[in-house]
Amino acid sequence: MLCLMDSIRDDDPSVQYLLRVLEDAGSLTALLLAAWQVARLLTVCLVEAVLTERARRPTAWPSCPACGVSGRSKGFATRQVTSLFGPIRWRRRVGRCPQGCAIPQVAPFDEALGVQPYQRSSGELQALGCALAVFVPFATAAKLLGSASGVTVSPRAVWSWVQAAGQQAMEQLQAQLQGLAQGHVPTEEPLAAELAAAPLLMGADGVMVPFRPEGGHPRGKTAWHEIKVGVLARLGRHRTRTGKVVTRLWQRRLVAVFGDFEALQRRLWLEAIRQGILRAPQVVWLSDGARGLWRLFEACFTGYATGILDFYHAAQHLWKGAAAWLDGRTSHARRWFAWARHRLRHGMPDGVLADLADALDVEGLPETARETLRTVYTYLERHREHIDYARYKELGFPLGSGMVESACNWLIQQRFKGVGMRWSETGFNHLLHLRLAWVNGHFEALFGVALSPNP
């Protein structure tokens, strides 16, 4: 620490210069920014002073992996790492095998500091760069990081940090999925009592993402692929300032995969256990009519959850039926539709189904109209268990899957569908898993750093 005090007092010209800028700063903003420059320099000075002091302590040399003889010092060498506060330099002992084995030079002090060989930027810089890249393009993230840290960061550097951290997140998930497949039940995420008593809402949706053509070549026609996204949340009630009670999603957790429904299903099930599906008082599954999603529901959640078919989606089908049967231009069609929709919503879905069945028996109905009507009837009949809207309303469940869809959409839309963006499968996956780590609250654990100073 002595070096620090000395340099503030007298001779370090860079500190003296920054202090003068600070004294001359006019506006509050200029004052704060000037003080920040001083703080940055002092931080570097402080850290370097501590490192210098520690590096002088005796070194415990590891034994050589080839011959087993304890390593020997070859003297001090300089190490530099770019940090959030500027470049940090320190000198520490490096050693080699005294028998001359062909092993790389070792630096036990770096290892104790958690610095990898060839690592050029420190953990907090990488973590902040990745956090920015979760929300903004790599070039913007690099620029923001550069202006916060005062060092030049290239978009390529941010990109490579994202690749490394995303890969790590994917490996962790793989290990958890494998563990679950072998019967290791994951630990539930802790929940406040009032949230644990709230219903668990689940749902999923597909979102299209633009990818580079096959083979990852940057030119050629964009290949659109569907990313499957699932959401799990506790259904909370929130009273707005005008006194209206609205449904809110708390403890929102997302899963996503560039893959098929089976891949989504395994991830959803893993997260559902973490979110307490085995003990939640009520579980609700909400989705539109997509076949794959309902197959997933039947395969995995039917024993736990009440499935609700999105009401607006069901009503849309009803209108298709009305238009085919009674001619959509007529008031007769509109009247029947309004009546059917009302009964569907208020606990009489069987009446609606009976109407449709009767309509199918009408003679002289054109074959195309009959075809449409049959489709609508089969659709509602197949979902008979999922259209008891009056009961769901009574239980306080939402009837529309809008919340599910917007949560799924947001995960992808906000970052992956910017103008001109096209992804490689690997690049997409790595960033996707970092984004999931962020929204699910695992981000800081992934980097082993706390970006916010509050506990």
Binding footprint of Zn ion on the chain (CB under 5 A): 64, 66-67, 97, 99, 101
Give the nearer residue to Zn ion in terms of CB position, either 96 or 317: 96
Give the nearer residue to Zn ion in terms of CB position, either 101 or 360: 101
CB of 117 to Zn ion, least distance (A): 18
Give the nearer residue to Zn ion in terms of CB position, either 99 or 152: 99
Give the nearer residue to Zn ion in terms of CB position, either 108 or 292: 108
CA 417 to chain CA centroid, Å, is 15
Give the nearer residue to Zn ion in terms of CB position, either 64 or 340: 64
CB of 68 to Zn ion, least distance (A): 7
> 283-287 and 200-211: which strand pairing?
parallel
Give the nearer residue to Zn ion in terms of CB position, either 99 or 247: 99
Give the nearer residue to Zn ion in terms of CB position, either 100 or 216: 100
Cβ atoms within 10 Å, residue 287: 24
Contact call for residues 253 and 440 (beta carbons, < 8 A) = yes
Nearest residue to 337 via CA among 304, 359, 370: 359
Token pair for 176 = 């958890």
Which amino acid is located at 13 in the chain? P
Give the nearer residue to Zn ion in terms of CB position, either 32 or 66: 66
Give the nearer residue to Zn ion in terms of CB position, either 80 or 99: 99
CB of 208 to Zn ion, least distance (A): 57
Nearest residue to 294 via CA among 275, 310, 307, 311: 307
Nearest residue to 397 via CA among 197, 118, 200, 189: 200
CB of 74 to Zn ion, least distance (A): 14
Token pair for 233 = 């949340």
DSSP-assigned states of every residue in 191-247: --HHHHTSPEEEEEEEEEEEEPPGGG-SSS--EEEEEEEEEEEEEEEEE-TTS-EEE
**Greatest distance between any 2 Cα atoms in the chain:** 103
CB of 98 to Zn ion, least distance (A): 7
The DSSP output letter for 184 is -
Helix H or strand E segment including 439: helix 425-439
Give the nearer residue to Zn ion in terms of CB position, either 111 or 394: 111
CB of 103 to Zn ion, least distance (A): 6
Residue in the structure block whose two tokens are 């979902």? 383
CB of 64 to Zn ion, least distance (A): 3
The number of residues making up the chain comes to: 455
**285: three-class secondary structure by DSSP:** strand
CB of 95 to Zn ion, least distance (A): 11
Q: Residue 9: how many CA atoms within 13 Å on its side-chain side?
A: 6
CB of 97 to Zn ion, least distance (A): 3
Span between the terminal Cα atoms of the chain, in Å:
27
Contact call for residues 264 and 230 (beta carbons, < 8 A) = yes
Token pair for 156 = 């390529």
Q: Residue 326: how many CA atoms within 13 Å on its side-chain side?
A: 18
CB of 128 to Zn ion, least distance (A): 40
